Amino acid sequence: MKKRSSYKLLGVQVNALSIPELNLLIEESIERNKKWIIANHNLHSLYLFHKDPKMQAFYEKAEYIHIDGMPLVLLGKLLGFPIKREQRVTYADWIWPLMMEAANKNWRVFYLGSKPGVAEQGASILRQKFPGLQIACAHGYFDMGKDSQENLAVLAAINAYKPHVLMVGMGMPRQEHWIYKNLEHIHTNAILPSGACIDYVAGAIPTPPRWMGKLGLEWLYRLLSEPKRLWKRYLLEPWFVCTLLLQEIWSLQTQSK
């Protein structure tokens, strides 16, 4: 991975990148005709990374890994890294300037994910907001076996469209597993594991108020919105991350002696 403002944080590598910088990276991948995974880390992925070897293999393939989660910014600051608030980029914020850039620069976007009908609904809203936007969709409810007919059909649809940007929104770790498993057969430039961003656009999932995002309280809004699905992620996994933080602080203190 190229080292643009790169930091090792609780065992994972992250790049401190703002929305304009991320858009420039996508533009660079297109101009140089490179295939780059631009991944992201938050507390949930940090937990998964330390538990799932497939996630470790996926992040090893990523060209850049931006920060998606205010807790990681705060942890970075606690460990002495010069990470800024604007270098926390979540898709609820990024999707709009990203689609504006795509419309202005004639980038073709393919979105894979969400329940049947939801992605197309979100894409329709984006086309209305950004005239000229080229975006195609396929839902994420298919047989993900590498050689299954459905998986091969999805790959064929993506490659026939020849997207500059492929967004894969199936939630962690499903989207990362799929990208890693099919990487050599995907013909695109920027590959973005993008969670539920089109679901937010379509209104299928309520978008947390942006002031909560700035304060690092998005997790609370999501937990209250989907308690059955998210309680483990937000109430149990942070304790594991706390142990990682204590280990890191202990290690730094030992080294300084």
* Whole-angstrom distance, CA of residue 29 vs CA of residue 8: 24
Contacts of 85 (CB under 8 A, 6+ apart): 70, 73, 214
Q: What is the DSSP letter of 1?
A: -
Over the stretch 10-60, which tens digit does the pLDDT of each residue have?
999 999 999 999 999 999 999 999 999 999 999 999 999 999 999 999 999
Question: For residue 97, is the peptide bond before it cis, meaning its omega torsion is within 30 degrees of 0?
Answer: no
Could you tell me if 128 and 214 are in contact, meaning their C-beta atoms sit under 8 angstroms apart? no
pTM of structure: 0.90
Polymer length of the chain: 257
pLDDT by position in tens, the chain (length 257): 344 689 999 999 999 999 999 999 999 999 999 999 999 999 999 999 999 999 999 999 999 999 998 889 989 998 899 999 999 999 999 999 999 999 999 999 999 999 999 999 999 999 999 999 999 999 999 999 999 999 999 999 999 999 999 999 999 999 999 999 999 999 999 999 999 999 999 999 877 787 777 777 787 777 778 888 878 877 778 888 888 888 887 876 677 66
Q: Encoding tokens for residue 69? A: 């989660």
Q: Residues 12, 59: contact at Cβ < 8 Å?
A: yes
What are the structural domains, with CATH classification, of the chain?
Answer: 25-216 (3.40.50)
